Structure 1
Amino acid sequence: MNITVYCGSSMGNNELYRNSAVIVGTWIAKNNHTLVYGGGASGLMRLLADTVLENGGKVLGVRPDFLADLEPAHPGITQLIKVENMSERKKIMIENGDAYIALPGGLGTIEEISEVLSWAMIGRNSNPCIIFNSGGFYDDLKKQFEKMVDSGFLTKENERLILFSNSMEEIEDYIKNYKLKAMNKK
């Protein structure tokens, strides 16, 4: 299975964030999954890829060429796909993913997991979306989802299309049992 992971190109300021990258990376490798990620060589992205590789796993990175000016691509990953822009990167990462996990990160992380979740809500993505809620990092986002439901902008069914968890057992169970229900029946 290919696990697409979105996360920060910075380490963040809490050891729990770094631990989440190690936990998820170890799980990916130990279960013979392949990591699909942004291909970066810094921050949680680097730590995640290094962890997968150190545990005998495979890593597919997808990088726009222009990012080379901001940070280098990871030199030791299994495969690197170079693309022209972020839209192409996101498309390839989505197409290659069987499940999507967001670790702590910034706006890019939020944007990428939001895109796959939005596609799930309109029936165009049948793969599970997970927020690894390390140290409560995404508690406010979870509350925002609940507010969207309470305010009539999302349904309870939409809310169930994403899992907020920091338990690999719960995440693994969610992935195994995930079934996308049609959102817009005609």
Structure 2
Amino acid sequence: MNITVYCGSNPGKNPNFSLAATKLGTWIGLINKPTVFYNVDGYYESLKEQFDRMVQEEFLKLDVREMFLFSESLQEIDTFIREHS
């Protein structure tokens, strides 16, 4: 299976944890595989909006944008994983 599920983090008491999660997310984007952001309580909503803006501004191709799913729905995530397996 060639898919990544990215849950991320918040800084908590140690901001290095959030920095490490951000670096991991960057690495995931570089490996060119479908990626899921488990968007609990809209945590990644601003990132999703930025990706959409990048498409509108032609900094990101639509086919690349479609490799990223932002969802709080486990059913939607499951469907995405099955479609990209």
Q: Which runs of 5+ in 1 are unaligned?
A: 2-97, 180-186
Q: Determine which structure has greater relative contact order: mean sequence separation of CA pairs < 8 Å that are 6+ residues apart, divided by chain length.
A: 2
Q: Give % identity.
A: 27
Q: How does 1:8-157 map to 2 (within 5 A)?
A: 98-105=2-9, 106-120=18-32, 125=33, 128-157=34-63
Name whichever structure is richer in strand by fraction.
Answer: 1
In 2, Cα distance between the equivalents of 1:161 and 1:135? 21
Say yes or no: does 1:171 pair with 2:83: no
Displacement, 1:104? 3.7
TM-score normalised over the length of structure 1: 0.38
- The 4+ residue runs of structure 1 with deviation greater than 6 A are none
Aligned residues: 77
Aligned partners of 1:132 and 1:164 also within 8 Å: yes
TM-score normalised over the length of structure 2: 0.77
Q: Helix, strand or coil: the match of 1:154?
A: coil
C-alpha RMSD of matched pairs (Å): 1.8
